[in-house]
Structure 1
Amino acid sequence: MKVQSSRDFKLQREVDYGTPEQNKAVKQIVADIKQEGDAALFRYTEKFDGAQVDSSNIRVTEEELKAAYNHVEDSFVAAIRAAADNIRAFHARQKRNSWMDLQPDGTILGQIIRPLQRVGVYVPGGKASYPSSVLMNVIPAQIAGVPEIVMVTPPATGGKEGIDPYILVAAAEAGVNEIYRVGGAQAVAALAFGTESIAPVDKICGPGNIYVALAKREVYGAVDIDSIAGPSEIVVLADDTAEPAYVAADLLSQAEHDEMASAILVTPSQRLADAVAAEVERQLRELPREAIARASVDNYGAIIVVESLEEGISVVNRLAPEHLEIVAQDPMALTGAVQNAGAIFLGPYSSEPVGDYFAGPNHIIPTNGTARFSSPVDVDDFIKKSSLIYYSKEALLRDGSTIIELARREGLEAHARAVEIRLENEAKGGVERGE
C-alpha cells in the first residue's frame, strides 16, 4: 500500500452510473418487463442466467426450503440463528409508535405510522453469496410490521445445483417463504411493476451488480429503493497503540469484496504506517481472493500519514466512509468529533466483520461519501407516516385570518375562500342545514 501525506492524498473514485450501453440495456429490460410481464422475465432469465424458468417453477417451493437444510452445516444454522437474535434485538429498539397531541382548544395534531405492505429483497449471486444480507434486509422490515416480504435471487447462485442453500436457509430462518428464482435488472423490474407470477412491491432493497443498481435507479418513483450502493469502504483511524497485523487484516476484510473496494489507514504514526504496509503485503499473499483484494489495494487503497489524530478526524470527515474503525488509546474520546461515518467501530477488538455478521447493527451502510447525508438501513426504512390534523372551531376562528393572509399572498384565492366561507358562516351563527 502506498504511504502518503494527507496533502497528497486524493481518492479518485466516482459513483458508477454505468456505461451508455449498460444504461440502454437496462432501460430496454425494464420497458420489456413492464409491457410483457412474465414472457420477458422468462426470456431474459434464459438469456442471462441460462436457466429455463416458467410459471410452474419460478417460485421456490416449501420442499426446496426444507431440503436446503440438508446441504448446510449445523454450525451454520446455529450461527445464523444467533446473528438473527442480535439483529432483532438491536432493531427492535428503533421501532416507532404513532402519536397524537390534544391541544386545550380541542385541536388534535399527530402522526400515524404504518408499515409498508409489501417489500422486495434482492439477494445477489456471482462473486460471493451473502446470507447475512438476507437477515439485514428482512429483519428490520419484519420489526416494522411489513406483512409481505418477497425475495428474488438468480437461479444459479449455488452453481449448477441451483440457488445457494445457505441463502435459502437464511431466508427460512428469517421467515421468508415467498422466493423467486430470478435475478438481474429483470427481477428488479418485475418487483417494481409486477408480472403474472410476481406481484408488485412498495420498496426494493438489497445489493446487486451494476445492472441491478441501474435498474433500481430506473424504477425509483414507481417504487421506493434503499439506495444505489457503491463498492465497500473502510477507513481505520489508528495511533501508535494499534497492532499492525490487526489493522492490515481489517483493511483486507473490505478489499476482498470487490476490485473497486476502498481500504484506507489514517495515522499520525510513521512506524505504524510502515508496519501496516508490510503486513498488508504479507497477508495478501495468503488470501484465496488475492487477485480481487490486490486490485482494490493497488487502485483504491492508501495509508495516509497525518500530523495528529485531530487532523486524522478531519480526513475521516472528508472521506465520510461506510465503515470507520478507531483504534487508539482512547477511541471513545475521539468519537464525538466524527461527523461523517456510516458505522463506527471502537477499539482493537471491534473488527469490522463483527458488525457485518453478528453484533446487531445493520451492515447495509451508505457508501461513496453518502454518509454525509444518509444512514444505515433500519426500521424507519420500512414505514410510512401520515400527518393527522383535527382543527377545532375555536382554533379555526382564532387562526383563520392568518391562514387567509398566507393563501392570498401566494395567489391561491380558492385556498383563502375555503377558510373564509367558514368564518363568514360562523359569524352568521353557523351553517343552516336543510332537512
Structure 2
Amino acid sequence: MNSAYFSEEHELFRASFKDFLQKEVVPHIDKWEKTGTIERFIWKKFGDMGFLGLTYPETYGGLNLDLFYTVVFLEELQKIHSSGFAAAMWAHTYLAMTHLNAEGSEQIKRDYLAPSILGDKIGALCITEPFGGSDVAGMKTTAIKKGNSYIINGSKTFITNGVYADYYVVAAKTNVELGNKGISIFLVDTKCAGISATKLDKLGWRASDTAEIAFDNVEIPLENLMGEEGKGFPYIMQHFALERLIMAVNAHARAEYALEYTIDYMSKREAFGKTIDKFQALRHTLVNHATDVEHCKIFNYAAVSRLIKGEYVVKEATMAKLKSTKVADDTIYSCLQMLGGYGYMEDYPLARLFRDSRLGPIGGGTSEILREILSKMIIDNKDYQPAVK
C-alpha cells in the first residue's frame, strides 16, 4: 500500500474488485478475445456492483468516491490478460460518461448518465476522424442547425465501443468557418436513422469493439447539444488530461504485471543448472525496468492527486502518458524476451500484452503530438487554460 495516496478503504476495494474480476470476468476473456465482442451481461454486473459509477454523483446512482478508486479500478483491469476488455470499460466510464456528467443537461444525465452507471446503456466518445488523427481542430464532421434539430454529417474512426454502444458523445462543427472555435459536443442515440458502424480489425485490444462510424443526415433535437455551442474544443482539451492520466496508469499497471509474471517465470525456468533469475544480465535488465516503472507510478499518482485538488494538470498528464506508455512498451518487450520462445506463444500472456501495449503511444494523442504540446508549454511558454462554463 502507498499510504500517501491509498487508504485502507482503497485497498479493501482493490481486494474486492480483484476477486470480482477473477470470478466474473477472467473465465470469459479468451472467448471475448476470439469473438471481439464483450457480452452485455458483464456490463450489467459491473453496474450492479457500482464499479461504473465510482466517481459520479449519488444523484444519478454513483458512489461519489475519490479518483484513487479509479486508479485501483484501472490497475486491476490491466492484470486480467485483456487490455481490450479494460479499454471497453474505461472508455465507457471515463471518456463518454465524463462528458455526460460535465456538459450534459439534467435530462441527458437522467436518461443516459444514470443508465450508464447501472450498466444498462453503453457509451462511446466520437472525436477522431479518418485522416484526421490527432488533429482535433481539423475535423470535418458538421452539425448544422435546422429548425428544432441539428443535422449531423461526417465520420469518426477508432471509436472504442463504437458498434455496440447505445449512445455516442460526438464532436462536430456547428460553424465550419471558426476552426476549433466552431466545435460543439452532442449526445447522439445510436437508434437515430442514418448511423452506420463498421467494426475494425486491430493488432491488439482484440476483445474491444472498435469501429468506424458514418453519420448521414442524422437528425437530433436541439436539446442534445451538451454545454455551450462552440465550446467543444476546450471541453475536449480539458478532459484530455483525465484521459491521458488514465492511459498513463494503464501503462504502469500493465508493465508492473509483466514484470511480476516474468519474475515468477524466471524463478522456475532452469538453464545450465540454475534458475534464470540468477543470471546477472537478466537480473539487471529487470531491475532497470522495475526502476522506470516505479518512477512512472509515483509521478502518475502525484498527478492524480493534483487533479483531485482541482489543479489543471494538462502538462503533467501529457508527460505521464508520454513517459509511461514508452516505459510499458520497453518493459514488456524485454519481458517477452526473457521468456524466450514461450514469450512468442499465445498460451503465455506476454504475446497478447505486447500487442495490446502498442496502442499506448498512439491512442489519446500520439507521442509525437504530446511532445509538440509539451514543447509549446515548456519552450514557447504557451499557457493552456480550462474551459470556462
Which TM bucket (shorter chain)? under 0.3
TM-score (norm 1): 0.25
Higher relative contact order, structure no. (Cα contacts within 8 Å, ≥ 6 residues apart): 1
Please report the TM-score for the alignment, with normalisation by the length of structure 2: 0.27
